[in-house]
Structure 1
Amino acid sequence: MTLHKNRNGKALVTTGFLLLFLLPVAAQTMEDTTLHKVTVRSENTKYIKTDNVIALRQIAMPTAVIDGKTIAMMGSRRLDEVMREQTGLAVVSDLGAGNRSVGLQMQGFSSEYIMVLIDGQPLAGRNSGNLDLSRISISNIDRIEIIKGASSSLYGSDALGGVVNIITRQFSDHAQVRVGSQYGTYRTWNNTLEGESPLFKNKGAVFFSGNFYRTDGFNVNPYLEKGSQTAPPYSSPSLWLRGRYQLTPQKTLHISARYSGRSSEMTRDYGVMPFLDVLHETDFNGMVALSNRLNNNTRIIGRYYLTRYTSKQHIKLLNGSHNTQTDEFQEYVHRVEWQAARDVWDNRLGLIGGAGGEYMALNSRTSGASGHMYNYYVYAQANYKPLANLEMIAGGRYDGNNLYGGKANPSVGVNYSPLRWLTLRAALGMGYKSPDYKQLYQVFTNITRGYTVVGANVFSESVKELQAVGIVQQLWPIAATVKPLEAETSVSYNTGFTIKPASCIDVNLNLFYNRINNLINYQQVGIKTNGAELYTYVNVANAYTKGLETGVTLRPAKGLTITAGYQLLYAKDPGVIDSIKNGHTRYATVRSSPNIRASTIADYFGLPNRSRHMANVQVFYEIQPWGLNCSVRANYRGKYGFLDTDNNGFIDPYDVFVNGYVLLNASLQKRLLHDKVTLQFSIDNIANYTDYLMPAQPGRIIMAGLIWKCFEQDKK
């Protein structure tokens, strides 16, 4: 393991720290600066963060907000259920993790390029790049902020494709306690206890939320034997605690802590080698922050953040054999950060800056997967409004890594409203991401399926050891090209407009183009003597995603909101296209069974797991006099490539596809007893659509429950 020194990077970090404290910087900065963004609902609300100076309206890239009221009207219980209904977002299963992990795609970027945050701090514990959204309860969520496109300049190197920031409740003007319980299909229980209260004559506040979720799991694969499941039964407790206290008129202390766990156990039987798969996970996040308001225009925040994720998976064959596999994994992240912001020139110029570092450690029983690395960074951004209808954004970030050195990533954007009802926007951002330890050093064998994954940086010596013990039957020519991985970089372009011809109509359109260099790809490079695959990781020269998103929001009557969205996506590897043109051996043919013919560019469908077309329609209706809320939603996802069956290196028309489908959902809430009690009823997947190629998509789920405000003080 080599430490790459970068003197220029360290000098830039030192300069950044000096600038951070020489620039008196900001509290309410951009919170008062109006940027016109693509929002889902509540677009006029000022989303203030008390422990973070980065506001959504400072972002150059397209953004969206899902507020707490919308989430409640959807009747959702876990984060993945909310995200799968949003325009341009796709939730995908990780088959290698036993179908437990469901990750998120955005603008064609896969899950490993999407940063998921809680109150601005990153979560840990990814499986094959997927951060499992289903392990996050939606209780205590005030809103979800979504940023589409490269956002590394403010959020860090993992945000090449976008950011999902979950904001928990931060303000309370009266004390209340809420108890909720839902029960339904698959013996699913969802129980929640939430509360909040101001303290010390409104100098402080405390918020808490506890949730317990359990389900029996389900099976959507007809090829599995009776009693087997594609999604396991599991139970998941979680606890959130957040508080703040105003030490002085200028200084406020913030603390937060979150714990969640999940235990699952499932049996799988294809009639050949039944096995038991048991997994236990824990996830802890904690933060302490001190906010210092120097004056009306200036705030500085210092904060420390810790996250710890652990998992223990045990697989046991059920045919009497003692052959088992145990995989234990722990991941720690320690982060220290300083932020500052300031508004000057009568709030026409907003400045924001920050600097920090993080230490990441991984411990695993898996060969080669343990180690540590650290990152350091500095960033700055300016939002300038030379005219009331024109805003220009320019920023940059330098990320450094002890293994891969560092790189500067700029971002620029502009928002211009030539007419009262028209806003034009454009943004450019760059991103940088270093490989993780598993991609570099892991040597892992899945006992139930027999395949082996070898990290790229230990590939040569590890494969020689496997050959020496007679495990490798054949290495393909591509194995000779495997070399140590390089860091990935990206550039993201977004441009579009928003039209508001009337107060009840919003129309938006966004065109995007993203290009990734040195894309890290999961690649088969040989066959083992047991017939299973031998995999490693390689850098692909480049890949791109491009397309458009459009949406319309209508409010034709009081309490009625109708939204519709559509995404067109092309996601391809130009290297494959060039190789087909040049007749490269690997990409030269397609198997149109039973014949084999020469491949053409038209045969190349694109990167796997990406749908060309996605759309949704949502209707929300609130009848205040009746205390009634209801919603009906439809989500369409077009067909997408699933498996390259002829191993010619790309998805062609004769490979395996997941067919296009529509999911219909509905929910109803009725308030009773002066809003003290709310009855809930929801139906997800009304048409009961399933596909064995989508093992984490359940059939029809019917849930019913209630929320009881068992204690509520009058507002002051």
Structure 2
Amino acid sequence: MLKKLIILPLIFLSNILWSQTENLSEKQEQYKDIEQVVVTATRTERKLKDVPVTAQVITSEAIEKSKMANFRDFMEQELAGVEFTNNGGHANINMMGFGGKYVLFLIDGERMAGETFDNIDYNRIDMNNIERVEIVKGASSSLYGSNAIGGVINIITKKLKKPLQISASALYGSNKDQNYNLTFGTKQKWGSAGFSAFYKSRDPYLLTDTEALKQEYTHGNIVEQKLSSTYIAGYTDYGFSPNVSIKITPKIQTEINTGFYFQERNTGGLDGFKVRDQFHNFRTGMKTSFQLRENSNLVVSESYDEYQKFDFYKLLNQKDKNYENKIWRVGSIYDVQLFGKHSLVAGAEAFSEDLFTFMFVSDGSGAKRDAQNYSLFTQQEWKLADAFTLVTGARYDYHSQFKGHPTFRLSGMYKVNKNMTLRGGYSGGFRAPTLKELYTDWFHPYGGGFQIIGNNNMKAEKSNNFNISSDLNFKKLNITLMAQYSKIQDKINANWVSSDTVQYINVGKTDVFSSEVSLSYRLRKSLLLKGAYTYVYENPQKRSITRPHTATVRADYTLDFLKKYAPTISFSGKYFSSMNTFGTADITDVDNTTGIDTHTEEYKIYYEPYSIWRLQLSAPLLFNFTASAGINNLFDYKTKFSSFYSSISPGRTYYIGLKWDLN
């Protein structure tokens, strides 16, 4: 019933919007965003308007306008359905009801090594080197295998387009936020060569409770936790990425990409003074493209990514490795156009992962585990009519622990006319338990102490995803409506199995329903308005850690009467609804008749709604310089108590920046 109550109004609204805008001229130009070439949804190049699978693109222009140095902050502010929480001091994503272990992150189509609390290290990502971010929401395992139950986020790095390109930028803000970027390169007849580097730093800061966190128990008891202070970690990051592309012949081209990243994380206070976390990353990859015929191509690629963590004892100037994750991947993709209308993509991949961590052996001495996966996949686009395209896809994965597993896709795209497109269909998903979930054996020293253990008898998670979307594109107006429903079987959670032991187990079924409405409207040449609203419902609700309602708004106003040096004023905000989280605790009662009684009782914690707003100014100057300034958290919101699912904003902060671009 809930699904009908939400899906039917979306379809009804789509029809109303179409009826009110169908009198617009068919000759009007659509937004240039839908002309973007994307690759993630089909693993071949397609214009966004022609992609038969629901996808979203964030352009480099949007990233540049945001003036954000941190990928986590940018994604949370830009996308209504994305929220980050603070788990153990590390960022933890939630996208449309799916956590980090269900969202596959890629850089130029390659997986990223290293995770903390099921999330990649978002600080690795150089914001200045992003050409676009492509997002496919919903299960995509038929193309990408494990970990793509909730969607795929592919970060496409910039490609050189001119004989000489140089840019440099600096940004300074509150809490000693610093961000410096440098890129340069050249494109010639033989190919191209480029280099990108960044440096970021921020001091740790303290969040102090003004109200107590309250645990409301089933039988009416309320337990208030003591007021406390929580440090939000600071960091020093730097990285660089050289790349080379060589045109061997007119039909053969090779690309080589490498990257190095370093972070030193300061948890703050006395602990941060004594011991720091250090993170090292090295990645490299090579991709060779062969144009076999005018309508067919073959791409052969390989990649390697290594991520390490160290305990750095600052006073002793010594460090100990406690984590190392290595992934290798080799693969090939063949695509061909058939009969001038249909297209076929087929590929094969071999993937291997090694993980070393002190959490694999109970005494903390460290051990190494590994897993391999081999896969074959194909996806076909059948253009059955000028207006209708049918997509079929299948993938077979053979995992060293879980053996064979097939996934499938069946979806379609119908172009009602030049302005309206409908998409929808079914996609399967699966997620093999991670090495951490299989083999962990670690004593957690905090919270009284308890053991966390893995479970190599678990089943792989499976999902069935159904989605529908509607796009309306006109000269001044773009509207997208989307709804999806996912049924997950054999979901894996870390659950208490005794008073002193947490174990990874299959906990059963979970249903996730989400819907999103987004629009972009250019009221006039100088004013652009954008907004989005997302609703998420999970069943069982008591497992959910998702705020059910989120929304974003943005207004960009350019003073175009100043012509070449016209500044742009941007006002944006994001709203997060309230939510409840649930847990259990051992309660001891003393009764004069029965004596001491210890039992487990459920409690809930209420998290208030809040919103974060930003105001910023950007203005072009002489000699290719651009100046910027802004206020983050304009209305100075601060959480009343700091916990896993509350805001980590320190309150109102400021920044100024300067960029020079020779293009």
The residue number in structure 1 matching 2:71 is 79
Distance 1:41 1:114, change over 3 A: farther
Most deviating of 542-551 and 130-139: 130-139
CA contact (8 A) 2:209 2:227 kept: no
How far 1:141 sits from its partner (Å)?
0.5
2:509 maps to: 542
Of the structure 1 ranges 244-253 and 385-394, higher mean CA displacement relative to structure 2 is found in 385-394
Q: 2:347 aligns with which of 326, 349, 354?
A: 354
Any stretches of 5+ residues in structure 1 without a counterpart?
A: 1-38, 459-483, 529-533, 574-604
Corresponding residue of 2:620: 671
The 3 A distance-change label for structure 1 pair 61 and 698 is: farther
Tell me the SS of whatever aligns to 1:230. strand
1:196 shift after superposition: 2.3
Q: Does 1:210 align with 2:197?
A: yes
**CA deviation string 1:268-318 (max 9, x = no partner):** 58xxx99955210012221111110112211101011000000123699x9
Letter aligned with residue 157 of structure 1: S
- Counterpart in the other structure of 1:703: 655
- 1:236 corresponds to: 237
Q: Which residue of 2 aligns with 1:366?
A: 359
1:197-237, Cα deviation, whole Å (9 max, x unpaired): 113xx221122210000000211233899997521121000
Contact 2:36–2:47 (CA<8 Å) still a contact in 1?
no
1:440 deviation in Å? Answer: 1.2
- Tell me the equivalent position of 1:70: 62
**Larger deviation, residues 148-157 vs 363-372:** 363-372
AA partner of residue 248 (structure 2): L
Tell me the CA shift for residue 645 of structure 1: 5.2
* Counterpart Cα distance in 1 of 2:615 and 2:328: 42
Asked whether 1:657 is paired with 2:596, we answer no
The Cα shift of 1:115 comes to: 0.4
Amino acid at match of 2:659: I
Output the TM-score relative to the length of structure 2.
0.84
Q: Partner of 1:43: helix, strand, or coil?
A: helix
Could you tell me how far apart the structure 2 residues matched to 1:683 and 1:647 are?
A: 45
Aligned equivalent of 1:108, options 97, 104, 120: 97
C-alpha distance in structure 1 between counterparts of 2:180 and 2:249, whole Å: 38
Closer, same or farther: CA 280–227 of 1 in aligned 2, 3 Å: farther
More strand by share: 2
C-alpha contact 2:542 2:582 (8 A) present in aligned 1: no
Report deviation, 1:641.
Answer: 2.9
Q: Whole-Å Cα distance in 2 between the matches of residues 360 and 397 of structure 1? A: 20
RMSD of Structure 2 on Structure 1 (CA): 3.1
Aligned runs of 1:166-205 on 2, under 5 Å? 166-199=155-188, 202-205=189-192
3-state DSSP of counterpart to 1:366? helix
Q: Which of 382, 398, 401 matches 1:400?
A: 398
> 1:40 and 1:511, CA in 2 relative to 1: closer, same or farther beyond 3 A?
farther
Q: Does 1:607 align with 2:543?
A: yes
- Structure 1 residue aligned with 2:384: 386
**Selected match of 2:520 from 533, 538, 553:** 553
CA positional deviation for 1:651? 12
Q: How does 1:175-324 map to 2 (within 5 A)?
A: 175-199=164-188, 202-222=189-209, 230-267=231-268, 277-313=275-311
Output the CA distance in 2 between the equivalents of 1:408 and 1:295: 31
Rounded to whole Å, the distance in 1 between the matches of 2:77 and 2:272 is: 35
The total of aligned residue pairs comes to: 594
Please name the residue that 1:600 is paired with.
none
SS at match of 1:130: coil
Q: 1:635 is matched with which residue: 538, 549, 574?
A: 574
Correspondence list, 1:35-74, <5 A:
42-47=33-38, 53=44, 55=46, 57=48, 60-74=52-66
Equivalent position of 1:338 in the other structure? 332
Map Cα deviations across residues 493-519 of structure 1 (whole Å, 9 max, x no partner). Answer: 10121234x421122211110111110
Equivalent position amino acid for 1:504 in 2:
K
- Scaled by the length of structure 1, the TM-score of the pair is 0.78
Query: Residues 102 and 177 from structure 1, CA distance in 2 versus in 1: closer, same or farther, beyond 3 angstroms?
Result: same
Instruction: Rate the CA distance shift 1:436–1:299 in 2: closer, same or farther, 3 A.
Output: same
C-alpha distance in structure 2 between counterparts of 1:146 and 1:520, whole Å: 24
- The letter of the residue matching 2:629 is F
- For residue 52 of structure 1, report the CA deviation from its aligned partner: 6.5
Q: Is the Cα–Cα contact under 8 Å of residues 487 and 511 in structure 2 kept in the other structure?
A: yes
TM superposition shift of 1:190: 0.3
Superposed CA offset, 1:147-176 (max 9, x none): 100011112211110011000112412312
Task: Spell out the pairing of 1:1-16 with structure 2 (5 A cutoff).
Answer: none
Structure 1 position 515 matched with structure 2 position 464: no
**In the alignment, structure 1 residue 444 sits paired with structure 2 residue 411:** no
Measured after TM superposition, the shift of residue 650 of structure 1 is 12
Please identify, of 287-296 and 78-87, the stretch whose mean Cα deviation from structure 2 is larger.
78-87
1:655-675 residue CA offsets vs partner (Å, 9 max, x unmatched)? 11221111101222111115x
Match of 1:464 in 2: none
Structure 1 SS opposite 2:33:
coil
The answer on whether the counterparts of 2:82 and 2:96 sit within 8 Å (CA) in structure 1 is: no
Q: Counterparts of 2:43 and 2:191 in 1: how far apart (Å)?
A: 17
Q: Is the 8 A contact 1:550 1:565 kept in 2?
A: yes
Q: Distance in 2 between matches of 1:243 and 1:678?
A: 29
CA distance in 2 between counterparts of 1:217 and 1:651 reads: 37
Secondary structure in 2 matching 1:419:
coil
Q: Distance in 2 between matches of 1:277 and 1:495?
A: 50
User: Structure 2 matches for 1:125-144, cutoff 5 A?
Assistant: 125-144=114-133
Alpha-carbon displacement from aligned partner over 1:421-458 (angstroms, at most 9, x marks no partner): 32221121111111111111111223344433432337
User: Cα offset for 1:181?
Assistant: 0.6
Give the 3 Å change call, closer, same or farther, for CA 59–514 of structure 1 in structure 2: farther
**SS of aligned partner of 1:71:** helix
| Residue of structure 1 aligned with 2:583, choices 644, 651, 654 | 644
Cα shift at 1:48: 6.8
| Residues 616-627 of structure 1 mapped to structure 2, 5 A cutoff | 616-623=552-559, 625=563, 626-627=565-566
Residue 426 of structure 1 is matched in structure 2 by 424
Q: How far off its partner does 1:376 sit? A: 0.6
CA distance in 1 between partners of 2:403 and 2:205 (Å): 46
SS of the aligned residue for 1:220 comes to strand
Kindly indicate whether the alpha-carbon contact (under 8 Å) linking 1:41 and 1:67 is maintained by their aligned counterparts in 2.
no
Q: Secondary structure at the match of 2:65?
A: helix
The superposition leaves residues 528-554 of structure 1 with CA deviations (integer Å, 9 ceiling, x where unpaired) of 4xxxxx311111111011031111111
SS at match of 1:697: coil
Q: For the residues of structure 1 that align with 2:350 and 2:524, how far apart are their CA atoms?
A: 50
Mark the CA change 1:409 to 1:537 in structure 2 (over 3 Å): closer, same or farther.
same
2:632 maps to 684
> Judging changes above 3 Å, is the alpha-carbon distance between structure 1 residues 453 and 206 closer, same or farther for their aligned structure 2 residues?
farther
For 2:312 and 2:180, the matched residues in 1 are separated by 28
3-state SS of 1:387 partner: coil
User: Mind listing any 5+ residue stretches in structure 2 that lack a counterpart?
Assistant: 1-29, 213-225, 362-366, 588-598
Offset of residue 487 of structure 1 = 0.7
SS of residue matched to 2:458: coil
Cα 1:657–1:314 shift into 2, 3 Å: farther
2:13 corresponding residue in structure 1: none
Whole-angstrom distance in 2 between the partners of 1:327 and 1:640: 39
